[in-house]
Amino acid sequence: MKLITNILIWIFAGLLTVTVLYYQRMTGPTYPQRGSVEIANEEIDYKLLRTWANEKEVHDRLGARIAIRVEDLEISGECKYKRLGTADEWTILIMQREGDELVAMLPSQPPAGKLLYLVSLQKGNKSYGLTEKPVVIRFKGWIPGWIPPPHVFLIFVALLFSTMAAVEALRRGKHVKVYTIATLVAMFVGGLIMGPIMQKYAFGEYWAGWPLGQDLTDNKTLIAFIVWVIAFFVLRKNPKNRFWPVFAAIITLMVFAVPHSMFGSEFDYSAGEVTTGRQG
């Protein structure tokens, strides 16, 4: 019976962790904007990119590929764009047909540079805008393939052991301190070492959180880590303490539920440098 209970607890913790991380990803400002539009009784689905990774070189000369699957050859399209936070006029691109797709290539930007863009489709004398408001797409630098997997895995492990520490505390188990240490190690390596390395490649700076900036991804990782450090020292003095492990786990769930990349790095075209603190 005890074995079954432990298995169920691990399953619960795992499902909760996956749910939180999935929610964070889906609600973040870099997840593609999806929708559909009906043109002449044809339902056209679209996915508009909100993030683009440049190639290994300084810039991908081709830029971001915006593609809409449209089988009707009588339908054409255009994409207009301008740099975010500037007084630029809109630049209009006529979308080119590549098989069943209409394609526009947005010019590459410096890491953390952002473009506003709008896509519309035309058939006959009618035009159909896909979105009412412009979509914001952020460009980032090339990130070596070996960096993201351990970063994501360790963040998953940190959240998993954080949940297990809280459950163990509530059931007055013996492994609260062990789970607390595992949470701290995973969060430190995954969030405070691997995270800044990723950010350096993507946006040219290791740290954009407090006190240097307002990047929520950096700040929420720092908050969660500090709370768990406090919980660890409390448990060293009083291993039977139940409040701090549960409190730290709740704070961790709350901060990790914040959409990823909000108020992140942004290239200021007027100043020619990367700033933080703006949403999108």
The H-assigned helical ranges of the chain are 2-27, 148-170, 176-189, 195-203, 216-237, 243-256
**Could you tell me which of 278, 162, 140, 147 has the C-alpha nearest to residue 213?**
278
Instruction: State the chain's maximal CA–CA distance in angstroms.
Output: 76
- What per-residue confidence (pLDDT) applies to 162? 95
- What per-residue confidence (pLDDT) applies to 73? 93
> Which pair of tokens denotes residue 14?
């795992």
Is the distance from CB of 8 to CB of 14 less than 8 angstroms? no
Q: Mean pLDDT per segment of 10 residues, for the chain of length 280 residues? A: 76 84 74 91 93 66 87 95 94 96 94 94 94 94 88 93 94 91 96 90 77 72 94 94 95 81 70 61
The CATH number assigned to the domain with range 33-140 reads 2.60.40
Q: Is 63 left (phi over 0), alpha (psi -120 to 50) or beta?
A: left
- Taking the model in full, what pTM does it have? 0.79
> Which pair of tokens denotes residue 7?
């298995």
- What per-residue confidence (pLDDT) applies to 46? 96
Is the distance from CB of 140 to CB of 53 less than 8 angstroms? yes
Q: List Cβ neighbours of 155 (8 Å cut-off, separation of 6 or more).
A: 21, 186, 187, 190, 191, 256
Alpha-carbon distance of 163 to 215, in angstroms, equals: 25
- What per-residue confidence (pLDDT) applies to 33? 93
Is the distance from CB of 265 to CB of 249 less than 8 angstroms? no
Alpha-carbon distance of 142 to 128, in angstroms, equals: 35
- What per-residue confidence (pLDDT) applies to 277? 52
